[in-house]
């Protein structure tokens, strides 16, 4: 257990040896499976902890404040509409196994000095007149046409920008597709109490590596300010030659819930929930095992009907009137036998589409 500077809390560091995700947990947390893959137990993180990325503390946190009824509804919606769903896939199981945590995002402050140039666009209107023939005579009508006047602009910029985002995780793009966007203005100042009973995912992308992804945020912010300073309605071809200094890196923590259900082979299938919006993401898989059992039951029914029809055929030697019933039974058995493979087809098609 270590008291980490800036976090104002005693925290323990762990790592998953299966997926290589590392975490901070409150002291005394019970032994637990990795909240990312749910396959192995977390192991203490060894080595020089001063070099781990958490030595840059969080500045802001987006609180996890999903209404319980909304969370329950989203989990229920996730489990609906799956043909031959795994027996373990229920909203109750997903909720009972759910873990609350936070995903990091770098925030960088920095001084910027630059010469810039751009094309500023200003709206204006051109008034003209058109003659129209209506109601037996000609009439002149005023027409206003909106246009843009483009003018070159250049200048010098010296600013300090605060809390511009950059990815702190190698998996950021994948997580963004699954969880959707977070509303960053909802963040509040970090307080250690917000981490109670929650895991914190440690960054695996150091600031030096994340810096190229922060530069577009600096440029977009500078371009917006230059447009405002120029009083332009439109802005294009912004170019600058920036020099950066006094960079300061902190973290923004974003809420996430993780849970899982067991597939046919007993392997956990991970489900992620955006802790701010409630967006649920994870593989929705039909159980081929249940589909096979359904196929076998239907085939068994077809066999029973076929055997009974054959017995009727034997009895029809003594009672010819039963021959028609025997033939109808054999046709029915063949039809049911062909339909027996429908569960496998439905399950395979659903899994293929999803």
Give the DSSP letter string of 53-120: GGGS-EEEE------HHHHHHHHHHHHTT-TT--TT--HHHHHHT-EEEEEEEEEEEEEEEEEEEEEE
- The set of residues, in sequence order, having a beta carbon less than 8 Å from that of 101 and lying 6+ positions away, is 23, 35, 198, 199, 200, 201, 255, 256, 257, 258
SS3 152: strand
pLDDT at 133: 67
pLDDT at 114: 93
pLDDT at 26: 82
Closest CA to 239 of 115, 150, 149, 156: 115
CA atoms of 352 and 151, how far apart (whole Å): 54
Please answer whether residues 84 and 294 qualify as being in contact, where contact means their C-beta atoms are separated by less than 8 angstroms.
yes
Count CB atoms within 10 A of the CB of residue 78.
Answer: 20
SS3 312: helix
Please answer whether residues 146 and 86 qualify as being in contact, where contact means their C-beta atoms are separated by less than 8 angstroms.
no
pLDDT at 2: 55
Specify which residues 244 forms β-bridges with. 112
Count CB atoms within 10 A of the CB of residue 3.
Answer: 10
pLDDT at 27: 78
SS3 41: strand
What DSSP state is assigned to residue 317? T
- The set of residues, in sequence order, having a beta carbon less than 8 Å from that of 242 and lying 6+ positions away, is 112, 113, 114, 218, 219, 222
Q: Are strands 58-61 and 234-262 parallel, antiparallel or unpaired?
A: parallel
pLDDT at 88: 93
Count CB atoms within 10 A of the CB of residue 304.
Answer: 12
pTM for the full predicted model: 0.81
pLDDT at 49: 54
Closest CA to 268 of 282, 289, 288: 282
- The set of residues, in sequence order, having a beta carbon less than 8 Å from that of 227 and lying 6+ positions away, is 118, 120, 235
Q: What are the domain boundaries of the chain?
A: 59-115+158-283, 117-151, 289-353
Q: Which residues of the chain have pLDDT under 50?
A: none
CA torsion, ordered 162, 167, 168, 170, to nearest 10 deg:
-170
Burial of 184 (0-12, 13-18, 19+ CB in 10 A): middle
pLDDT at 77: 94
pLDDT at 54: 53
* Two tokens, residue 28: 């005394």
Q: What are phi and psi of 295, to 5 degrees?
A: -65, -45
CA torsion, ordered 16, 169, 109, 248, to nearest 10 deg:
40
Whole-number Cα distances in Å, 137 to 29, 133, 134, 140: 88, 5, 6, 10
């Amino acid at each position: 257990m270590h008291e980490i500077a800036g976090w104002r809390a005693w925290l323990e560091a762990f790592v998953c040896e299966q997926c290589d995700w590392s975490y901070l947990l409150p002291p005394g947390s019970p032994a637990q499976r990795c909240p990312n893959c749910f396959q192995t137990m977390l192991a203490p993180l060894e080595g020089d902890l001063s070099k781990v990325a958490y030595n840059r503390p969080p500045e802001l946190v987006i609180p996890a404040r999903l209404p319980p009824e909304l969370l329950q509804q989203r989990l229920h919606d996730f489990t609906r509409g799956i043909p031959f769903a795994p027996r373990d896939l229920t909203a109750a199981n997903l909720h009972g196994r759910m873990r609350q945590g936070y995903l990091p995002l770098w925030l960088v402050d920095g001084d910027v000095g630059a010469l810039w140039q751009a094309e500023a666009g200003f709206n204006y209107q051109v008034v003209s007149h058109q003659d129209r023939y209506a109601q037996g005579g000609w009439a002149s009508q005023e027409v206003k046409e909106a246009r843009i006047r483009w003018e070159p602009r250049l200048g010098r910029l010296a600013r300090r920008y605060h809390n511009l985002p950059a990815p702190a995780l190698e998996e950021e793009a994948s997580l963004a597709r699954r969880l959707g966007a977070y509303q960053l203005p909802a963040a509040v100042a970090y307080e250690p109490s917000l981490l109670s009973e929650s895991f914190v995912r440690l960054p695996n992308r150091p600031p030096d590596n994340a810096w190229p992804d922060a530069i577009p945020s600096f440029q977009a912010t500078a371009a917006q300010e230059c447009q405002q300073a120029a009083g332009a309605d439109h802005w294009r071809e912004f170019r600058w030659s920036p020099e950066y200094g006094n960079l300061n890196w902190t973290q923004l923590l974003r809420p996430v819930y993780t849970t899982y259900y067991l597939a046919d082979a007993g392997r956990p299938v991970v489900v992620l929930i955006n802790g701010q919006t409630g967006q649920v993401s994870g593989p929705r898989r039909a159980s081929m095992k249940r589909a096979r059992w359904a196929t076998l039951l239907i085939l068994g029914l077809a066999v029973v009907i076929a055997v009974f029809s054959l017995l009727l055929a034997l009895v029809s030697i003594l009672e010819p009137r039963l021959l028609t019933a025997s033939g109808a039974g054999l046709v029915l058995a063949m039809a049911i036998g062909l339909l027996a493979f429908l569960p496998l087809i439905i399950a395979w098609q659903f899994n293929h589409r999803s």
